[in-house]
Amino acid sequence: MIDLHTHSLHSDGTQTPGELMAEAASVGIEILGLTDHDTVRGYGEAKAAVATTGVGLVTGIEISTRHEHRTVHLLGYLFDPDEGIIDHCIRVRQARQERLINMVDAMEKDGIVTWQEVVAVAGEDATLGRPHIADALLARGTISHRDEAFSGYLSPRSPYYRPYWAPELVDSIALIHDAGGVAIWAHPRAASRGGSHDWTAIGRGLDLGIDGLEVDHRDNSPADRRELASIVTERGLVQTGSSDYHGSGKKNLLGENTTSREMFERIAHKAAMEVYYP
């Protein structure tokens, strides 16, 4: 099995990269993609775990971008993590943190949660995001699962919600390509994430040079998966399937959706960096 979309505690997952690699081995994953949000900090530990777990590693990232006034998550694979990527990560992490501080300030005034509680559950060096507020609420006993926070306190309809700066999709595609990577649109029809793009907007996004679509993902409906697969075939794009695994932070199961060997080989052939094999 090949699962190309997972998260560690360096963003909003709950496991170290080493623990993630070990679990991948335990469920029969042959090749794993580590795609933390806007950071490459987990690479070192994940690479070290290749030999001990026998799991191949695809280094990646999930970049938060904007396209036609809505969020797009862009997966980048096997790029050279040069200064351009690092500078981008720093800018987005700063924007995320400023947004989170504003949200928590508003929530703290109503006695809901404090910044100290959020930092405590996030851990050192994590890319801070709304899931960490959810985890602080979990620790307080205010909610019973992250999903409860995202449908309430953290929803775009909530009085505590704040937008944040994110780069344009076209610029992020160029950033990944300039670093020798492959750019895949993550969960493009994920309506549960605050509103998905319509098909016309997706088409315009693909015209910007995206290499492929994450078709098989639990947040894409069966009908949308069929339409996305048709678009992939029509345009000659790469089609991926992934779990978007976050450890105990989400209900997604490691390996619940996977990428075919053929499509994986297309990514590996196109990219500048090598896959790390045992």
The yes-or-no answer to whether 2-82+168-270 and 90-150 have a common fold is no
Q: Please state, in angstroms and rounded to a whole number, the distance separating the CA atoms of residues 245 and 213.
A: 17
Question: What digits encode the pLDDT tens for the residues 163-203?
Answer: 888 899 999 999 999 999 999 999 999 865 555 788 999 99
Give the whole-number percent of the chain exceeding pLDDT 70: 98
CB 175 within 8 A of CB 199: no
Domains of the chain, residue spans: 2-82+168-270, 90-150
Q: Give residue 206's identity as a one-letter amino acid code.
A: L
Residue 83 has pLDDT above 80, yes or no: no
pLDDT at 214: 98
**Res. 154: pLDDT tops 90:** yes
139, exposed or middle or buried, with CB in 10 Å at 0-12, 13-18, 19+? middle
Residue 198 per-residue DSSP state: P
Q: What average pLDDT does range 205-216 have in this prediction?
A: 98
- Nearest CA to 134 out of 123, 125, 124, 145 is that of 145
**Under CATH, which architecture does the 2-82+168-270 domain have?**
Alpha-Beta Barrel (3.20)
Q: For residues 203 and 231, give the distance between their C-alpha atoms in angstroms, rounded to a whole number.
A: 9
In this predicted structure, what is the pLDDT of residue 195?
A: 55
Asked if residue 167 lies in contact with residue 65, where contact means CB atoms within 8 angstroms, the answer is: yes
Q: What's the whole-number average pLDDT of the chain?
A: 94
> What is the architecture, at CATH level 2, of domain 90-150?
Orthogonal Bundle (1.10)
